[in-house]
Chain A
Amino acid sequence: MKLTEIIENSGEWLKGDGPHRNIVVSSRVRLARNLRSKPFPGWAKKAERIEVLKIVKSAVEQLPEMEDAYTENLEALSPLEKQVLVERHLISREHAAKGVGSGVVMNVNQSLSFMINEEDHLRMQAICCGLQLDKVFSMINQADSELEPMLDFAFHPQLGYLTACPSNVGTGMRASAMLHLPGLVMSDQMNKIINSVNKIGLAVRGLHGEGTEAMGNLFQVSNQTTLGEAEEEIISRLNDVIEKIIEHECNARQLLLQKKPVTLLDQIGRAYGVLSYAHSISSKEALNLLSVIKLGTDLNLFPDENRILVDELFIETQPAHLQKGAHVQKMSADERDTLRASLIRAKLLVVPKPDVAKIATQPLGTTENDE
């Protein structure tokens, strides 16, 4: 299949359904694997990387779940195409910087993606909507087991799977969930949450992982350590913590609604106003305001059928997505801001203005879909 098919269709994790999907945008599990005695990508010479790419790519392409997959060497992708894949969370920012000797394989619905010669020879991830860490783990675990007879993975009796960075040895696994937490941010509780999550060996990061800024009230919670705990234990510990955070977020929203309804409604109304009438808007401002609209949807101020439209705007307003829509390779920041504003204005035409009469008084963030 072709890249255009990937680019034209948003991934299943964005459109799909899953438990707690209002707060948990997506769940993801990534496994790192390396071939025995082959230099890691950062240390390998070009010819060695090309050799590893060939071996790993052909194995991945043979997986039954990767039938009709999109597969490409990174040097064949334009910077814009790479950036689109980064904004979709299908490849990492580090991987986008790679060229000859690195590759990518992903399935049609974008739930499985394999980065070849990123920091490790193989980094494979499964991603889906809502809080479903067990499901994504079993998807990627199966792919790993199917690859095992074809690839000689470096494994050490004490240290487990060996990785380029000692911080990933053992399971080589990073499980994470992307959480939308406007309630905790608005009530100034996010620092407290981050501190306590850090204390138990889990990490909270921004939109695109390590070292990135938190925008649009989106936070990624993941395990920090990979050795000394089985995959299932890591996932269940992370899952428990995420459920606690969801609970805190729901309480924070409820409290805001009771104690500061005017502030809350004012923010939602202003976000709707700015997004509906702005003619130039930065990516950061757009994300932050869309986050407030998303919150408004959770509070029943906007119709639920517009939910996906709003969620898709989170991705479509990112710089590379905007540009690929305009079919231009290079665009100035000002041009992008103008285009972003007009895209949002057009999309929001179908979203009626916030209906204060419908405001949710029930415990928030829980719908029939949630358990």
Chain B
Amino acid sequence: MQCDVCQQKEATVFLTQIVGGKMQKVNLCEACSKDKGVNDPTGFALADLLSGMGAAQEIEKNPASQRCPVCGFTQADFKKTGRLGCSTCYEVFAEGLEGMIRNMHKGPEHVGKAPVAYLRSRQIDQKIKTLQSSLQEAVAAEQYEKAADLRDQIRRIEAGLEA
């Protein structure tokens, strides 16, 4: 079995650790295990090792030729650095990042703070959606006066967004 870190030498140290209820396994060669401080449990956390490593393989789900249109980043660059090029890379390489992010974190979705502007625009989106469905109902029920009123409300909100 090959070492997971250098991918060259034969693995002789096998580690299993449970992080947040998930079992994770790493196989290391003699040199890499020393390098990562495996012999010294005080300095070693498997999660640290994994978050910097398994990552590289996951990103290969994206085609090698794919480039971020904003910053020119490719999956090969990610494998080298373990960092992304810009915020748009998260859209471009979404497929490869998904599994990696799921493994690294407690949950797949953000539940904390969000910018006020984002929350506001989401609220407006939802309001427009509600108005649109009421509009369709009104049309179906042939309540044309109500429908015209709803249509005007939607137009006003959209005009406000553009302004």
Contact = CB atoms under 8 A, between A and B. Distances in A.
Contact of A39 (B48, B71, B100, B109): B71
B47 A155 contact: no
A190 B19 CA distance: 18
B108 interface: yes
Contacts of A232: 112
A156 B116 contact: no
Contact of A228 (B41, B55, B105): B105
A153 B110 CA distance: 15
A224 B52 CA distance: 13
Interface residues of A, number: 56
A144 B88 CA distance: 22
Interface stretch (B7-15, B76-84, B129-137, B142-150): B76-84
Contacts of B106: 201, 225, 227-229
B42 A201 contact: no
Contact of A160 (B42, B88, B110): B110
Contacts of A155: 114-115, 118
Contacts of A201: 19-20, 47, 106
Interface string B6-30: 0000000000011110000000000
B101 A40 contact: no
B32 interface: no
A119 to B, nearest CB: 7
B104 interface: yes
B108 A158 contact: yes
Given A191-B41, A203-B48, A40 B110 contact: no
Given A225-B104, A225-B106, A227-B105, A198 B87 contact: no
A166 B41 contact: no
Given A166-B84, A228-B108, 7 more contacts: A40-B83, A149-B116, A167-B104, A169-B90, A169-B110, A213-B43, A224-B45
Interface of A: 34-40, 42-43, 119, 141, 144-145, 148-149, 153-162, 164-167, 169-171, 173, 190-191, 194-195, 198-201, 203-204, 206, 210, 213-214, 224-232
